[in-house]
Structure 1
Amino acid sequence: MPTFLTPNRHGYSVRFSPYQPERIVCATSQYFGLAGGGTLFLLEITPEGNLVEISTFQWTDGLFDVVWSETDANIVVSASGDGVLQLWNVSCPQLPPQTFREHKKEVYSVDWSQTRQEQFVLSASWDCSVKLWDPNRPNSLATFLGHSQLVYSAMWSPHVPSCFASVSGDGTLRIWNSHVPQRATMTLRAHDAEVLCCDWCKYDQNILATGGSDGLIRGWDLRSFSSPIFEQKGCEYAVRRVKFSPHHFSALASVSYDFTTRIWDFKVSSEAIETVKHHSEFVYGLDFNNHVPGQIADCGWDSLIHVFSPRSLSALRPHLTLAPK
């Protein structure tokens, strides 16, 4: 299992490149994100199976999330505790980042649209807003207000242009049309607790999942939004991130403050089909490798990044149709 140590930096977000299956970027923070700066690590899995550093990028505040561009293999966008977004060219470590400065508090989530019709970035902030950005323009295109508490995550639909979901400390899941910033198109009380994360199913445009500080993962169908279509139980503490598999319709992965990474199949059981315990602190970052079926990366506050292939995923039959890029 390739592992990388980020000394004195605590992991918040890890992402595989959509272009190069061996490339990974990880956003980290000093002092658990409570103070100090942040470091972005560009890593590569070698043919020998080691995880090695290619370059690092420094910011004056903690980095909480990172996403790859869907149009340029060398561009990533990160988000920091001072409310700033940074656009980095990882092929030119000496260049300072392009910055986007409008949020008034921590930015906890960034996402790049995956549909070919549009190429925009979403940012979700503790100032209770979500903002829409064109990476080629210095000012945001729109601001989405409606959540009454901090927004933890905003994620584009991989299927429907202009559609995204957001989740918040107010317990709600909201669905938005990016062309209509005045109001959400759908609002649901998703958990009786803070909702920390969400993700869209890669094979059904109507299905998405939420994870809450109650330790629950719930699945939702936009065609029948009143009650969850599945509920996964077993996390002892908050679910920090949840991801649908790009290779299996009903498989998900999650990371939690209980130090675990869990694999789920909502068609099989409400309990995890595998629990991985290789972190000694909160696990924050999680991603699937689109190019390597069953391969996952995670990172946590123990300063470790792991790349691994859970046994349970190798036993699942891949979905017959390809997920969108």
Structure 2
Amino acid sequence: MEKMTRVSTVNGRTMFCHLDAPANAISVCRDATQVVVAGRNIFKIYGLEEEGFVERLNLRVGRKPSLNFSCADVMWHQMDENLLATAATNGAVVTWNLARSCRNKQEQLFTEHKRTVNKVCFHPTEVNMLLSGSQDGFMKCFDLRKKESVSTFSGQSESVRDVQFSIKDYFTFAASFENGNVQLWDIRRPDRYERMFTAHTGPVFCCDWHPEDRGWLATGGRDKMVKVWDMSTNRVKEIYCVQTIASVARVKWRPERRYHLATCSMMVDHNIYVWDVRRPFIPFATFEEHKDVTTGIVWRNQHDPYYLLSGSKDSTLYQHMFKDASRPVDRANPEGLCFGLFGDLAFAAKESLMTAPQSVGDVGRKTYPGGDRRYPIFFFKKPDVTEQFAQVSSALSVFESEAGSSVGMDWFINTAKSYLLSGKPFAELCEHNAQVAKKLNRPQESTTWTMLRIMFSEPANPSLSTNHNLNKSGNLPLVNSFSMKEMSAALNERNKENRQDNLHSLETNLNNNDENEETEGSEGQAEYLFGDAELDDDDLYSMEHDNQAEEPEYLLPQEAFPLRHEIMDHPSAPEPVQEKPESPHVSGSETESTCLTPMESINLISVSQLLFSPHLPPKFFCPIVKEMLCYYAEQGDVQMAVSVLIVLGDRIRKEIDELTQEHWYMSYIDLLQRFELWNVSNEVIKLSTCGAIMCLNQASTTLHINCSNCKRPMSNKGWICDRCHQCASVCAVCHHVVKGLFVWCQGCSHGGHLEHVMEWLKQSKHCPAGCGHLCEYT
């Protein structure tokens, strides 16, 4: 008895139904009257009726749950309407015969794969031929008349993501792999692939042969790209590349439309896009009905380009009518402007009537002077009756600067290579990076590193500090502590010429104000010079006798000593000394070391308030540093933002949200990799603390090694193959075992020492092993 499910219809022929569980894959029978939906907890067949979807058969039968029903992929045979095949997550390949009279429709079970089977594919013209690709890296060809596989294909690589028989070539199929490679195989030769090329920078999740053009193969991967390859020539050629916004999980060519294909994403993006490969950045049409990731897409009929079926993790099955799709080009900005990396300017806009050459028919056309660029200036192509969506043309103009005036990026490369981000104390890292920025004529960055060192360094020991000298203008440097001996020595040299006049004025001032010396001298003068600095009697004694040896005739009254100790025991807030600007002030035990002009006195007093204030905690500067990092990032200098973020570490990391840090890291790493600064990029990834960044070094790190003699995988970790008992890693140039860095050609698998191979390829393009392959070092 047929079971009716709840059906909803949207906009005429666009319809959907709710499933019992999320779907992993869907497939349509040859006459487009039924669709099968498979997933981890669902395996059903629905009929396509005018009023909606009708559930016809539930293939999940039996009292005990079986992993054979947990499907990762499903395919309906296009020659036998009763034959289906599924790929199970437990490594089983199962065929189903709908013509069987019993409830259990399972016909054959193949358990030769050791891991999850990602894809199954029937031969388009051979009824009994089935192909599978598994996570274990093997592809197997099954003859449904036999109980085991007839051929096993080893990609000698990571897991197989997709396999597809060629529609035109009877013996050819394509396979895509986790490491970004695509291989072409002849089913008659399971020992070696016919052709291999690197299609994407990450895993290739899907591939699909063009139904009309014999040599066109579309691939999609984690790098968010869909590429179209021409396989009909001797050398594989990329002819189109479409840029999406998320990793591509499925790709299907649109029937009867040569340049159209549909894609869906593996994560993040829930929409289905139909692309015109000639326009790679804006989708031709978009279906936005699903609320979760789309897992399966298929055109309803091989000759019907207007109906698309899709299943999703939101437990819905949709039939999309093409005319109900949205048109992103209608919402896209028709103009764009951007600057290139080297100072070039690119401007894109629609073709306008004002820039088009006038013809005879344009004489009476109205013109729009000035800047009135509204609707009439654009070309609009009349829509085709047979096609709801028209191709919209666009023009791109690039204005390049002259070769001599282009903005170079040498400073970025040199800075990335010279900066130190770890391995030394914080102060030394800041000082080194400041010097690097200064040498590269980047004063703002140099000053930033210097200020970071001052703000976040620990306060130095007064007795061990080496930055306590006065500068050339007579002012004290802005540090946390200082040495009185160094200050007095500097002042002696600074005021040696004016010593006589200043001391005479000093004695006169002391004699006239002898009665007020205790109040004014203690509160207004001595504290400004010494502040909270700690001096013992030995220091004062040495300062006194050193200067007496130089000028023994000038002595300070003895009552100055107890006053100074009283000041240190009872510190008070200083008051501005502006009563007698014409006379220098005395603070200390030696007149020679404190004879200052009025301007010098004011400078010393203003500096001392910051100089002797308590050390500010690093948290005090965190808001300023955070604002500074955001400023650099907004200006496009993510190099400075990331470098400071790494050097400061926990001092500032908690003040900036992780998403912002991840954005900075990804931008900087992308720039480093564009300039081929692989070592610097790897160091930045290693020093980062963001989880999304640290995992970049952990992706695709598995290396499968095959013996160079017998071509079989190496099962042990030594240099001797346990099958042929020969050395596996032998240099093709010097014929010695390579025990260090080994480089090899991905085309012929021969290689050797890096230095030897580089020297060989400078003189010859042929493989040094004599196989005849044209090797290339990149």
Q: Is the aligned partner of 1:188 residue 2:190?
A: no
Q: For residue 271 of structure 1, report the CA deviation from its aligned partner.
A: 2.9
Unaligned runs of 5+ in 2: 1-13, 326-385, 391-778
For residue 90 of structure 1, the aligned residue among 73, 79, 98 is 98
Give the whole-Å Cα distance in 1 for the aligned partners of 2:309 and 2:118: 19
Q: Is the aligned partner of 1:120 residue 2:122?
A: no
Name the SS for the 2:24 alignment partner: strand
Q: Is the aligned partner of 1:145 residue 2:158?
A: no
Instruction: Tell me if structure 1 keeps the 8 A contact 2:122–2:129.
Output: yes
* 1:271 aligned residue: 282
Give the whole-Å Cα distance in 2 for the aligned partners of 1:104 and 1:148: 15
**Structure-2 change in CA distance of 1:314 and 1:67 (3 Å):** farther
Give the whole-Å Cα distance in 1 for the aligned partners of 2:296 and 2:45: 15
Question: Deviations along 1:267-323, whole A, 9 cap, x unmatched?
Answer: 344431112222122211011122533211111111111111223795369xxxxxx
* 1:6 aligned residue: 19
For residue 251 of structure 1, the aligned residue among 242, 257, 260 is 260
* 1:288 aligned residue: 299
Name the SS for the 1:123 alignment partner: strand
For residue 17 of structure 1, the aligned residue among 29, 35, 40 is 29
Q: For residue 90 of structure 1, report the CA deviation from its aligned partner.
A: 2.4
Instruction: Tell me if structure 1 keeps the 8 A contact 2:59–2:104.
Output: no
Question: Deviations along 1:126-170, whole A, 9 cap, x unmatched?
Answer: 011111011221100111102411111100001100100000111
* 1:110 aligned residue: 120
For residue 77 of structure 2, the aligned residue among 39, 63, 69 is 69
Q: For residue 55 of structure 1, report the CA deviation from its aligned partner.
A: 0.7
Instruction: Tell me if structure 2 keeps the 8 A contact 1:149–1:168.
Output: yes
* 1:35 aligned residue: none
* 2:59 aligned residue: 57
Give the whole-Å Cα distance in 2 for the aligned partners of 1:248 and 1:119: 30
Give the whole-Å Cα distance in 2 for the aligned partners of 1:45 and 1:70: 17
**Residues 218-237 of structure 1 aligned to structure 2 (within 5 Å):** 218-222=227-231, 223=233, 225-234=235-244, 236-237=245-246
Q: Is the aligned partner of 1:315 residue 2:382?
A: no
User: Which residue identity does 1:229 align to in structure 2?
Assistant: I
Q: For residue 119 of structure 1, report the CA deviation from its aligned partner.
A: 4.2
Instruction: Tell me if structure 1 keeps the 8 A contact 2:135–2:158.
Output: yes
**Which structure shows the bigger proportion of residues in helix conformation?**
2
Q: Please give the TM-score of this superposition, normalised by the length of structure 2.
A: 0.38
Give the whole-Å Cα distance in 1 for the aligned partners of 2:99 and 2:319: 23
Identity fraction in percent = 25
Instruction: Tell me if structure 2 keeps the 8 A contact 1:231–1:270.
Output: no
Q: For residue 85 of structure 1, report the CA deviation from its aligned partner.
A: 1.2
Q: Is the aligned partner of 1:169 residue 2:172?
A: no
User: Which residue identity does 2:18 align to in structure 1?
Assistant: L
Name the SS for the 2:256 alignment partner: coil
**Structure-2 change in CA distance of 1:303 and 1:133 (3 Å):** same
Q: Which runs of 4+ in 1 moved over 6 A?
A: none
* 1:203 aligned residue: 212
Q: For residue 175 of structure 1, report the CA deviation from its aligned partner.
A: 0.6
Name the SS for the 1:121 alignment partner: strand
| RMSD after superposition | 1.9
Give the whole-Å Cα distance in 2 for the aligned partners of 1:159 and 1:174: 17
Unaligned runs of 5+ in 1: 31-38, 318-325
Question: Deviations along 1:176-229, whole A, 9 cap, x unmatched?
Answer: 101111111110100001100000001111001000011110000011644421
* 2:43 aligned residue: 40
Give the whole-Å Cα distance in 1 for the aligned partners of 2:223 and 2:214: 26
Instruction: Tell me if structure 2 keeps the 8 A contact 1:65–1:109.
Output: yes
**Structure-2 change in CA distance of 1:91 and 1:42 (3 Å):** farther
Farther off after superposition, 88-97 or 183-192: 88-97
User: Which residue identity does 1:301 align to in structure 2?
Assistant: K
Give the whole-Å Cα distance in 2 for the aligned partners of 1:120 and 1:271: 39
Q: For residue 96 of structure 1, report the CA deviation from its aligned partner.
A: 4.2
Q: For residue 237 of structure 1, report the CA deviation from its aligned partner.
A: 1.8
Larger radius of gyration: 2
Q: Please give the TM-score of this superposition, normalised by the length of structure 1.
A: 0.88
